[in-house]
Amino acid sequence: MLLPPLAVLIISGLLALFANSPFVRADAFTYASAQTAHPGLSPIFTPSVQYWGGQILAWSAEFNIDPNLVATVMQIESCGDPRALSSAGAKGLFQVMPFHFHSFDDPYDPDTNARRGLAYLASSLERTGGDSRLALAGYNGGVGLIGRAEWTWPAETKRYVKFGGPIYVDASAGLTASENLNSWFNQYGASLCRQAAQRLGIP
């Protein structure tokens, strides 16, 4: 059945209105992200993390770590911004603290940053017997807290695990979108990811 021209115009106008509505959630990135995912890497991650997909797979193979766990860490730490710098002095894609670098290292070089950060993540995984949730806590708060009761963890580490653990579970489950990642994005990640996208030239 053909619609009258006026009805077509009204429907088109409504669709355009909703597309630009302030009530559209900030997680609209998921579709674009899914279109650029690398085989072996979950499509739930934002485009600025997917940008590094090939390197994530290579780094993961080098350290024998699940690429989705590597992507989860990058997502939360920098959202893929290679020049990210925290108030505590953590630098680059994996927000590596200065004392993990050698004197001749360029902390912002993606390969160097990844190797220093993932070496620490690998040691955290080894310390936890492969428990990804505890490894994320160790990565954020230091491996020394792994054996401690969770109520003693810093608030930042609790928040890191609260979001990072479920995001990794969603990525591992083969989902094409993650409410847990969306929640992190809307609460903490929007400005970080906007900065990363600008840095990488992603529309």
Q: E strand or H helix at 182, and its extent?
A: helix 179-184
CA–CA separation, 18 and 149 (whole Å):
47
C-alpha pair distances (Å), 6 with each of 12, 13, 18: 10, 11, 19
Find residue 96's DSSP bridge partners.
Answer: 91
Strand locations in the chain, DSSP E? none
Token digits for 174? 């083969």
Q: Kindly report the backbone phi and psi dihedral angles of residue 85, in degrees, each rounded to the nearest multiple of 5, phi listed first.
A: -140, 125
Other Cβ atoms within 10 Å of 45 Cβ, number: 30
**Annotated catalytic residue, options 77, 126, 150, 179:** 77
- Is 77 a residue of the active site? yes
CA–CA separation, 49 and 67 (whole Å):
12
Cα maximum dimension of the chain: 72
CA–CA separation, 80 and 94 (whole Å):
8
Catalytic residue positions, numbered = 77
